[in-house]
Amino acid sequence: MTAILQTVDTPDGPFTILEEDGRVLASGWTDDPARILGRLRADRVPQDAASGRALSAERVLAYYDGDLGAIDDVPVAQHGTTMQTSGWDALRRIPAGRPLTYSEFAAHLGSPTAVRAAASICARNAAALFVPCHRVLRTGGALGGFAWGLDVKMSLLQREATK
């Protein structure tokens, strides 16, 4: 099946989704398909990605219209180590408006001393928003990093805190 790339306008800027077989492979706040494809391991980049209508695009718009749960059950396909895939699954269970610190996230993964590994799981997350790595903060509440910019991370956290 052909992979689909679609960009939608959001209050945080253009958001591009790469889907294949109805599952999000990668996504983020850019209108540059190369940046989205670049989030994937080279051996996982679809060779036939074309512009089209992504099934998850409506869910992104619903999220921005206030339905924060609209993204929760969108199918996602990410490939990584067992720890990474477990971590990405765990990120999907962090409720909107209830962010964790990297230390809390590491403890949640069963490895309280593996704070760097927890941060790496967030950094390697290709399916931004659908796997809400933006909900993990530094100890003390500092934002930490975010591939799509700290302004986007702050906006997402503020949006989720008000609901």
133 is catalytic: yes
Alpha helices, DSSP H only, in the chain? 33-37, 57-64, 82-91, 102-108, 115-123, 150-161
Q: Judge whether 119 and 102 are in contact, CB under 8 Å.
A: yes
Residue tagged active-site, from 60, 133, 136, 157: 133
Strand order in the sheet with 23-28: 23-28, 13-20, 4-10, 50-51
CA distances from 15 to 28, 63, 64, 103, 121 (A): 5, 12, 11, 29, 21
Annotated active-site positions, please? 133
